[in-house]
């Protein structure tokens, strides 16, 4: 995926809104009230803002669908249609099999292959929409963005773009960590079965061997 040219999100035109604040003259601060108590709530994070924009874009897509769709009737197939619809706004060159640059990560020249949304952008988008659907009251077991068909489609897009662009998407391998624990082992050899063992030391002809065993466990 070309991170410099491929946005991970759906961009919308900014809307400028001007709000006139009421005059502050004549408003007195209450007794014992600190100025910080009247501050506005913290602005939403970049992720939350983008998630809201993505959700509104998807709802608008359902509204403009032919025929119009409601969120309750939305399925995984409709989500896949939405992802394909977004390809027209993509900026990632995906070479066709007949293209001479198929499988070349750095093609030496231009070609007429289409621009599409990169797999990483679609995968991140589905994650935000899945969360937004549940926050809007949707049930996790009927979440269309978590449908098996959507997961299969994303996997096919990832594998297809990897072959076309010559850039494999490899999963990050988890590092194997070894945890070393010390176990206290006591090996007691008795000379006579009738003699008692004193764990505070050696008594009655009994030899006590106190050692520390080291055990390594791989997680």
What digits encode the pLDDT tens for the residues 57-87? 999 999 999 888 999 999 999 999 999 999 9
pLDDT value, residue 203? 40
Number of independent structural domains in the chain: 1
Does residue 20 form part of some domain?
no
Q: How confident is residue 156, by pLDDT bands cut at 50, 70 and 90?
A: very high
Does residue 19 form part of some domain?
no
Does residue 212 form part of some domain?
no
For residue 69, what is the domain's CATH number? 1.10.150
Number of helices followed by number of strands (H, E) in the chain: 4, 4
What digits encode the pLDDT tens for the residues 197-206? 333 443 444 3
14 pLDDT higher than 70: no
Which pTM value belongs to this model? 0.59
Distance CA 140, CA 112 (A): 41
Torsion region of 137: left, alpha or beta (phi above 0 gives left; psi -120 to 50 gives alpha): left
Does residue 208 form part of some domain?
no
Does residue 126 form part of some domain?
yes
- Degrees to nearest 5, angle at CA 70 with 11 and 129: 40
Region 152-179: mean pLDDT is 78
Task: Decide if 181 contacts 217 (C-beta within 8 A).
Answer: yes
Task: Decide if 54 contacts 132 (C-beta within 8 A).
Answer: yes
Does residue 78 form part of some domain?
yes
Give the domain extent around 150.
47-165
């Amino acid at each position: 995926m070309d991170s410099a040219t491929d946005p991970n999100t759906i961009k919308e035109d900014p809307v400028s809104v001007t709000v006139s604040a009421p005059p502050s003259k004549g408003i007195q601060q209450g007794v014992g009230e600190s100025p910080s108590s009247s501050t506005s709530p913290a602005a939403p994070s970049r992720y939350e803002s983008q998630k809201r924009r993505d959700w509104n874009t998807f709802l608008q897509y359902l509204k403009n669908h032919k025929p119009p769709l409601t969120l309750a009737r939305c399925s995984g197939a409709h989500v896949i249609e939405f992802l394909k619809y977004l390809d027209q706004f993509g900026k990632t060159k995906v070479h066709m099999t007949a293209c001479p640059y198929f499988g070349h990560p750095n093609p030496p020249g231009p070609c007429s292959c289409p621009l599409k949304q990169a797999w990483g952008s679609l995968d991140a988008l589905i994650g935000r929409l899945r969360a937004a659907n549940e926050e809007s009251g949707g049930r996790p077991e009927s979440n269309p963005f978590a449908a098996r068909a959507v997961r299969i489609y994303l996997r096919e897009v990832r594998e297809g773009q990897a072959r076309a662009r010559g850039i494999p998407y490899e999963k990050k391998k988890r590092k194997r960590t070894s945890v070393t624990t010390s176990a206290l082992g006591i090996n007691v050899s008795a000379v006579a079965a009738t003699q008692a063992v004193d764990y505070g030391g050696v008594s009655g002809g009994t030899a006590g061997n106190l050692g520390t065993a080291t055990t390594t466990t791989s997680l």
